[in-house]
Chains A and B, each alone.
Chain A
Amino acid sequence: ELKVEQNPLFLSMQEGKNYTIYCNYSTTSDRLYWYRQDPGKSLESLFVLLSNGAVKQEGRLMASLDTKARLSTLHITAAVHDLSATYFCAVDERKKYGGSQGNLIFGKGTKLSVKP
């Protein structure tokens, strides 16, 4: 059974600082997704990582995937208040002999609060 663990679950940052959110998963997968959720809102897709070594950047956020380590990171550079939200990673559950099961398994989310 695929398990997805994020850490930290809560992160309080000062504006201008850098930090990294980690996402570990328990079984083989080469597809990983990052989402953002604002309070009371839906989930918004941030990054789709489809291969080992994939790196995507958008503004102050950069995501990477290491399929051998079963680890993805979401790096925040020079945080600003607008980045305050909950960030989820999700992993495409794979079948035993290859191919996708068709569903994503989500981590519990990292609640980020950026303070001035």
Chain B
Amino acid sequence: DAGVIQSPRHEVTEMGQEVTLRCKPISGHDYLFWYRQTMMRGLELLIYFNNNVPIDDSGMPEDRFSAKMPNASFSTLKIQPSEPRDSAVYFCASSRPGRAYGYTFGSGTRLTVV
């Protein structure tokens, strides 16, 4: 089990550019979550999927943010256009049915928008 795999680990981009973050959940996990972590706001849930279907995207800050899960093994979080205030660490997490084991988090993507 390779765990939850996120890419890239670090991303530096210029304001206005499109950014795509990627996540591969653990096989067999039916929930996938995208979180954003900043010093000021802590861990914020952006969106989550169950069986590839978006369940709650109320945490997505603006229309500039979008997320997809085309299949059980892949998800993307896209920011277009990016802004400096989007700078944060973005975590993807997945959980198995029943969630008796909680979430497994990926290593995160540290995004810096300059």
Given contact pairs A42-B108, A106-B43, A109-B42, A100 touches B99 in the complex (Cβ within 8 A): yes
Contact present for A88 and B43 (CB under 8 Å): yes
Closest A residue to B48 by beta carbon equals A103
Our count of residue pairs bridging A and B at CB distance below 8 angstroms stands at: 52
Interface of B is mostly: strand
Interface residues of A in 58-93 (CB under 8 A from B): 88, 90, 92
In the complex, whether A25 has a CB less than 8 A from a CB of chain B is no
In the complex, whether B55 has a CB less than 8 A from a CB of chain A is yes
Contact present for A102 and B48 (CB under 8 Å): yes
Contact present for B45 and A105 (CB under 8 Å): yes
Interface of A is mostly: strand
Contact present for B104 and A45 (CB under 8 Å): yes
Contact present for A45 and B50 (CB under 8 Å): no
Closest A residue to B108 by beta carbon equals A42
The docked-state distance in angstroms from the alpha carbon of A44 to that of B91 is: 12
Residues of A within 8 A of B (CB): 31, 33, 35, 41-45, 48, 50, 88, 90, 92, 100-109
Not counting A43-B93, A48-B101, a sample of 15 additional A-B residue pairs whose C-beta atoms are within 8 angstroms of each other reads A35-B102, A42-B105, A44-B105, A45-B101, A45-B103, A50-B100, A88-B43, A92-B99, A101-B56, A102-B48, A102-B50, A102-B99, A104-B103, A106-B43, A109-B42
